[in-house]
Structure 1
Amino acid sequence: MQTRDWTEKTEVENRLITQLKGLGYRHVKGSDLNRGTQREVVLEDGLSAALQRLNPWIDDNSLRKVLRQVTHIEAASLMEANLQFHEMLVSYLSVQQDIGRGKKSQTVKLIDFDRPETNEFLVVDQFRVVDEGGTVKPDLTIFVNGLPLVVIECKASTTSTPVREAVKQLRRYQRESERLFHYNQILIATCDQAARAGTVGAQGRHYSEWKDPWPLTLPELGVEPTPQEVLTAGMLRKENLLDLVRNFIVFEAESGRRVKKLARYQQFRAVNKALERIRTARDPRERGGVVWHTQGSGKSLTMVYLSVKLRREPSLHNPSIVVVTDRTDLDDQISRTFLRCGFPNPVQADSVADLRQRLTGATAGVTVMTTVQKFQEREKEALTEAENLFVLVDESHRTQYKELALNMRTALPNACYLGFTGTPIDKEDKSTVRTFGPYLDTYTIQQAVDDGATVPIFYQGRMPQLQVMGNNLDKLFDRYFRDYPEEERERIRKQYAKEEVITAAPQRVREVAMDILEHYEEHIRPNGFKAQIVAISREAAVRYKQTLDELNGPESAVIFSAGHNDDEFLKPYHLSKEEERRVIERFKKPLEEDSLAFLIVCDKLLTGFDAPIEQVMYLDKPIREHNLLQAIARVNRRYEYKHYGLIIDYFGVSGFLHEALSIFREEDVKGAMHSVDSELPRLQTRHRAAMRFFDGVDASNLNACVKVLESEDIRLEFDLAFQRFSRSMDMVMPDPKARPYVEDLKFLGKVRQAAKTRYRDPGLDLSDCGEKVKRLITDHLQTLNIEVLHDPVDILSSKFEERLERAGSDEAKASEMEHAIRHEIRVKMDENPVYYTSLKEKLENLIAARRELRMDDKELVLEMQRVIDGMRGQAREAERKGFTRQQYPFYQLLVKVLGEEGWGEERIREMTGDLTAIIQEHVVPEWTEKVDAQREMRREIKHYLRDADYRDHLDELALKLMDLARIHYRQ
């Protein structure tokens, strides 16, 4: 039987190339490309040909200007350069040229987005780029008209964490060859069995799968297509790639920096389905519909993408767009989203009159953001009869069934209405679908969790004796008023025994507040997250604030709508609009930056409020139907190290949840909330997966356990299993149900830390664990007083010998020495690549000799000791030859390069001194960050090498000398 060649090249690269060729791409090997130098990242011949093909009027002078503008982007950062190029690409360039009517600005297309077939699509494997920062060679690069728009890194699926490794490599490429990524629009990490896409600057967690090949279907791709095949069909089909680049990329300003965002598959699909319906509807009144995407999955950005595409659709003649919400804070939020994404000229209507003025006669190019309440005037006739007017209604389930909505539709009778919601309604008196039209696209709660767009929500009922729902109310009333006479109790019952009064009773609020503080400080605060308290009334919200302050709880703020007749109890807590904005901004910041930990609300911030740092909602209020689903979704936003959201229920809303879910199909709301107990089966499975590594190993023998993790691949597998187990423990602790697994968690943490020390593996620290888990493990290690708490000892330190003595057997000593040497090589390779490359070869030879039984452990220890002694003698060797510590790596590099060509040692020693002197002359403050200073230094180095009659590999040697200079002569 023939064995399959499971390699990165055959299993991943070649399959992807074959699929792309089937999509009409041309394939060229990187080594066969015709380009001037390996520094060139734009294929200028291809770009020049495309410019002449797409702009046949262009003359040679204008062509040169455009080529220079594209290939010489001046920017302060990679993201700024990327933004500049994206604007060139989608908004086009202009040049002054006379084409028969005098010299005027002419628009130049780099790509024809409307006719994909007129562009050249090229896939290149092993496209090597040599830059100041180093040399990179991505597995695949996709060029459109000579522009490198897509970079793909492939890994064999047999690698432990292939996609994670591919993303790490893509991030390294961006550091080492910035210019290649000036032009990049999409980054892809794939191993065929898993594939994810991201953008320049994105962290690994921001890369996402592409699960729908729209407009194709999965069956059209064949039987069980792989994730790579689905992503390729969905993102890299020519029409889709150009559509994504043109209409589905935004540069959003976040916390003072730009973040590049690429649409997810459900956003791309929903927008295109909406456009398809708008183009093909037989009757203008049938153009509308509903986009049902669960909360937290990016509806606001979907509205931005749709607005961009509506504006660019030629058949719509530059339409006007009205974005409607039902609350001022949502209006502000969505307005900011449009502005942050650079959408041109969105205007927020500031009054009823302002809205009427902006819409009266509006026919083209207006973008107005408004609340539905500004349609309060009953219109007798239309403000505009325009059909190229599109009304995008956010959270379309709430206010679109009454008089305000009727006024809006009277004012804009021929508009196309598109509803966006996370919780549509389908009841006799209210129906989102009957109001707006059919579902254009759906994206369910479970799909969002599966895709990592949101985190799962867990539910826990607390203090059932305080719940007031249903028949609990009478019991609670009897408890509070049992000492009163019967007649008095009956009078109080009739007048005051309402849910709101009982729930807001000061003693009850105090008991709940104490429980909230205990839960928050034990479960939530250690991981750095924040919380929201939802009170039944404004009075109760203020009471919670006062009580938390009295109990010395973390900093809190209360936000509610002020009334004209509010009494002295509420007035001191009124916040102005600006004060509210500042409080919300503070709440969104990490705890270490801002200590505001609790937001206490009544109705405000229950819907449309987006604060990813919020992990828990303490719910002490009856909320029903879609409002309940909207509220609990406040905790489902993704945040670093946040693996779940939590609803702690003090009111007993679980019955309301069942009622709320009953209006939907079961598959559409599956996974809305899970009981904490539902995590137990997964905890058991993850516990077994982590412990199986040590089956049959003596758990009391730490060296034996650590040896299990000697292979890097095994360590990666173990680390993944440990992280999953620790996440489940973080979720369940300190529930008594977690107790059976605590000792094993401590054991695994101890082994993991010992393996980090032995193998010098920085990936095995505890920083990626939840704080509760981390504290449990580190406390255990301190209790045991074991050395694995300490960082690895430097191999050149005298303490290293003490470490070896404690290792015990020769096998353990050899392992300790091997990984200490490997760590030294890894850390110092850039400082002296010639010496440490040679050292790496020597080490591999020794390991191979032991593996082939040509030496035993004792001999291996002796040989490794000689290697370590040689490493310690490096400084003495440099001094003996008359070089400083900084100069010696330059000398060794020149010996390696020039010695092989017969240059004498004396001449090489002289050149070492001359070249390091040239470098020192050009060292100025922060020169490694200044392109001009680096260019001048490199020019002088090349000039010296030419004068010395060295020309064969001049550019390559100059770059290697520059690399050493950046390390050894930093200012």
Structure 2
Amino acid sequence: MSNFNEHALEMSIMELFKDEGYTYINGESINRDISDVLLADDLKKYLFERYSADGITDNEINGIIMNLRSISGTIYEANKAVYKLICDGFILNREDRSQKDLFINLIDYETPENNNFKIVNQFEIEGMNNQTRIPDAIIFINGIPVVVFEFKSAVKENTTIMDAYKQLTVRYKRDIPELFKYNAFVVISDGANNKYGSFFSLYDFFYSWRKVNSEDKELDGINSLMTMVKGLFRKDRLLSVIKDFIYFPDNSDKDLKLVCRYPQFFAATKLYENIKAHMRPNGDGKGGTYFGATGCGKSYTMLFLTRMIMKSSFFESPTIIIITDRTDLDDQLSKQFINSKQYIGDNTVKSIESRENLRAELQGRESGGVYITTIQKFTEDLEILTDRTNVICISDEAHRSQINLDQKVRITDSGVEKTYGFAKYLHDSLPNATYVGFTGTPVDKTIEVFGGVVDSYTMTESVRDGITVNLVYDGRAARVTLDQERVRRIEEYYRLCETEGANEHQIEESKKAVANMDAIIGDPNRLQAVAEDFIKHYETRVAEGASVAGKAMFVCSNRYIAYTLLTIISKLRPEWTEKKTFT
């Protein structure tokens, strides 16, 4: 093990990439200017072979490379600009103006084998102030450095992959920023721990790629190196991630760039294929259900899926309608999607205020457009919004109001009243749409409306991946001395609870009983005891294991009780709730 140093790890990883069909080259053998981070000859060769039938000239190819090199600004601004060219392509104005403009793709996403995949180590780069750095490994596609690796030895004391992260994001950022102008993402590894993430992300947002395929079991340790290479860096998989699964917002007050996690990739790609198979008019319109645990990033999965659909020639620019069942979700998704027009590839991304507003948007529109709205806007209006088949509805929280298609019958003074839920009116308004459901709690009705579960990501998996904090229930009972009157009221409360409310009188009495229970639960003496008991219990647990990290959550019966309890805890431990400034 003493011989398993960073160089041994580096060469082992080179072998893994060779098994995946990458060409391995030692950077010392490449004839180049050490300040140049592009393999210009590779890019020229690719462009000539790809566009030779269009008569592309040497001058035009040199002009493309010169334009890439000349993109400037902060590292973030330059990376965003270059990345858009890499992912979406661009129009080349021909040297001979009599010729038709040529659309250029720097990477052939349709046919992976048309690209030149290389993994290179010992690639010395001279950067700022004549500083030289040698990244442990770089993946080049057609001469463009899209992935940078940094390794640390797992057997070296006092060294972790956090040191690899700092090497990339501090030293390399300072000394060789030009390299990261072209970067898709970076990888940090010690062999046993292997993570990837955006160059602009905090360390906490680096994750492992723990499966080769979605149905596989997650793997850790040295096996996670294998799953990353075979899962993330399989040629077609890497191209897919680069093209559709790396996100820049249109505008941001910070350097925000997100790279998908493996469950988001699998969910979006499987839903995409399922929508293709079930889309009307040839399919049944049931695009599938995604079962994703709370906190697994469903909103970004929706965004990735939306881009894939809008950029696909198969769907021919469909209209996508995002449906939520809560105003707060609607606001969140609206802000996210409206700030993602460039990423989605459609300038018409709007939040819908009313059914009439949506009708006006869809009237006369044959394609395109992304609209975000709430299910509650679909009420008893029998007029069809559109009967087009190239409409895809993506429903968030697809287990509540978004599945109530059944008729409801109620006896009123004027007779029998028949009504339907919001979902029925939605489906009647868009009769030929294809429906996709996202939910954290699928039920039978969800499957009936949206189709079978296409992919799932459970809370257990999310906790193992470090995405969601494990939820542990630790029951505590604060001993409170109650007077006999309060004991009597508790007994009365439980007596009332034995009888189910079957009429208005019993329901009203039940409400009074609950109000009495709130008075008992919210008794100041009881809340004082609960606060003191929690503080003692929490501080004891922390003292027993200083390495334990996590969060504590209180569930209270109403807001007043919650606020009162917080106030008591704040008085007992003011340092827990005082505002802190972090730099």
TM-score (normalised: structure 2): 0.81
The CA deviation at 1:22 is 2.4
Contact 1:248 1:305 in 2 (8 A): yes
1:34 to 15, 26, 31: 31
Residues 1:125 and 1:391: Cα distance change in structure 2 (over 3 Å): same
| Residues 250-399 of structure 1 mapped to structure 2, 5 A cutoff | 250-252=247-249, 256-281=253-278, 283-285=282-284, 287-342=286-341, 343=344, 344-345=346-347, 346-360=349-363, 362-380=365-383, 382-399=384-401
Amino acid at match of 2:241: L
Residues 1:34 and 1:505: Cα distance change in structure 2 (over 3 Å): same
Q: Where does residue 426 of structure 2 map in the other structure?
A: 408
Cα distance in 2 for partners of 1:83, 1:302 equals 20
**Deviations along 1:416-469, whole A, 9 cap, x unmatched?**
21111112224xxxx2222211111111111101101111123233446689xx
Q: Where does residue 545 of structure 2 map in the other structure?
A: none
Q: Where does residue 580 of structure 2 map in the other structure?
A: 592
Q: Where does residue 176 of structure 2 map in the other structure?
A: 177
Cα distance in 1 for partners of 2:578, 2:28 equals 48
Cα distance in 1 for partners of 2:472, 2:44 equals 57
Cα distance in 2 for partners of 1:99, 1:519 equals 81
| Residues 426-575 of structure 1 mapped to structure 2, 5 A cutoff | 426=444, 431-463=445-477, 476=490, 495=509, 498-505=512-519, 508-511=522-525, 513-515=527-529, 518=532, 535-536=556-557, 540-542=558-560, 545=563
Cα distance in 2 for partners of 1:396, 1:286 equals 15
Q: Where does residue 78 of structure 2 map in the other structure?
A: 81
Matching of residue 242 in structure 1 with residue 239 in structure 2? yes
Residues 1:359 and 1:529: Cα distance change in structure 2 (over 3 Å): farther
Q: Where does residue 606 of structure 1 map in the other structure?
A: none
Secondary structure of the residue aligned to 1:158 is coil
The CA deviation at 1:91 is 2.2
**Deviations along 1:624-668, whole A, 9 cap, x unmatched?**
xxxxxxxxxxxxxxxx9xxxxxxxxxxxxxxxxxxxxxxxxxxxx
Cα distance in 2 for partners of 1:512, 1:141 equals 62
Matching of residue 422 in structure 1 with residue 440 in structure 2? yes
Cα distance in 2 for partners of 1:203, 1:85 equals 22
Secondary structure of the residue aligned to 1:390 is strand
Cα distance in 1 for partners of 2:571, 2:252 equals 28
Cα distance in 1 for partners of 2:515, 2:305 equals 46
Residues 1:497 and 1:89: Cα distance change in structure 2 (over 3 Å): closer
Amino acid at match of 1:9: H
Cα distance in 2 for partners of 1:8, 1:298 equals 34
Residues 1:493 and 1:400: Cα distance change in structure 2 (over 3 Å): closer
Q: Where does residue 8 of structure 1 map in the other structure?
A: 6
Cα distance in 1 for partners of 2:550, 2:12 equals 43
The CA deviation at 1:288 is 1.4
Contact 1:348 1:368 in 2 (8 A): yes
Cα distance in 2 for partners of 1:477, 1:411 equals 52
RMSD (Å) for aligned C-alpha atoms: 3.8
Cα distance in 2 for partners of 1:473, 1:449 equals 42
Residues 1:519 and 1:151: Cα distance change in structure 2 (over 3 Å): farther
Q: Where does residue 415 of structure 2 map in the other structure?
A: none
| Residues 844-923 of structure 1 mapped to structure 2, 5 A cutoff | none
Secondary structure of the residue aligned to 1:196 is strand
Cα distance in 1 for partners of 2:214, 2:468 equals 25
Cα distance in 2 for partners of 1:511, 1:533 equals 17
Cα distance in 1 for partners of 2:144, 2:457 equals 34
Contact 2:149 2:187 in 1 (8 A): yes
The CA deviation at 1:504 is 2.9
Amino acid at match of 1:389: V
| Residues 927-946 of structure 1 mapped to structure 2, 5 A cutoff | none
Matching of residue 130 in structure 1 with residue 134 in structure 2? no
The CA deviation at 1:201 is 2.0
The CA deviation at 1:356 is 2.2
The CA deviation at 1:387 is 2.1
Contact 1:361 1:385 in 2 (8 A): no
Matching of residue 148 in structure 1 with residue 145 in structure 2? yes
Contact 1:312 1:318 in 2 (8 A): yes
Cα distance in 2 for partners of 1:590, 1:334 equals 31
Cα distance in 2 for partners of 1:459, 1:8 equals 43
Residues 1:335 and 1:593: Cα distance change in structure 2 (over 3 Å): farther
The CA deviation at 1:365 is 1.0
Cα distance in 1 for partners of 2:75, 2:367 equals 36
**Deviations along 1:748-769, whole A, 9 cap, x unmatched?**
xxxxxxxxxxxxxxxxxxxxxx
Contact 2:249 2:339 in 1 (8 A): yes
Contact 2:338 2:350 in 1 (8 A): no
Secondary structure of the residue aligned to 1:257 is coil
Secondary structure of the residue aligned to 2:119 is strand
Secondary structure of the residue aligned to 2:257 is strand
Secondary structure of the residue aligned to 1:459 is coil
1:53 to 49, 58, 82: 49
What is the percentage of aligned positions where both structures have the same residue? 29
**Deviations along 1:42-90, whole A, 9 cap, x unmatched?**
1111112222223333333332322111112211x21121111111111
**Deviations along 1:227-276, whole A, 9 cap, x unmatched?**
11110111111111111011001124898212211000001011111122
The CA deviation at 1:184 is 0.9
| Residues 699-718 of structure 1 mapped to structure 2, 5 A cutoff | none
Q: Where does residue 499 of structure 2 map in the other structure?
A: none
Residues 1:377 and 1:106: Cα distance change in structure 2 (over 3 Å): farther
Amino acid at match of 1:260: K
**Deviations along 1:911-966, whole A, 9 cap, x unmatched?**
xxxxxxxxxxxxxxxxxxxxxxxxxxxxxxxxxxxxxxxxxxxxxxxxxxxxxxxx
The CA deviation at 1:528 is 13
| Residues 603-682 of structure 1 mapped to structure 2, 5 A cutoff | none
Contact 2:191 2:222 in 1 (8 A): no
Contact 1:361 1:383 in 2 (8 A): no
Q: Matched residue pairs, number?
A: 532
TM-score (normalised: structure 1): 0.50
Task: Mark the runs of 5 or more structure 2 residues left unpaired by the alignment.
Answer: 405-420, 495-504, 543-547
Cα distance in 2 for partners of 1:510, 1:339 equals 47
Cα distance in 1 for partners of 2:385, 2:511 equals 50
Contact 2:380 2:425 in 1 (8 A): yes
1:91 to 88, 101, 106: 88
Q: Where does residue 806 of structure 1 map in the other structure?
A: none
Higher RCO (C-alpha under 8 Å, 6+ residues apart)? 2
Secondary structure of the residue aligned to 1:16 is helix
Q: Where does residue 488 of structure 1 map in the other structure?
A: none
The CA deviation at 1:553 is 5.2
The CA deviation at 1:394 is 0.5
Cα distance in 1 for partners of 2:386, 2:126 equals 59
Cα distance in 2 for partners of 1:194, 1:375 equals 49
Q: Where does residue 212 of structure 1 map in the other structure?
A: 211
Cα distance in 1 for partners of 2:374, 2:336 equals 15
Cα distance in 2 for partners of 1:397, 1:162 equals 43
Which has the greater radius of gyration? 1
Residues 1:441 and 1:554: Cα distance change in structure 2 (over 3 Å): farther
Cα distance in 2 for partners of 1:590, 1:85 equals 43
Amino acid at match of 1:39: S
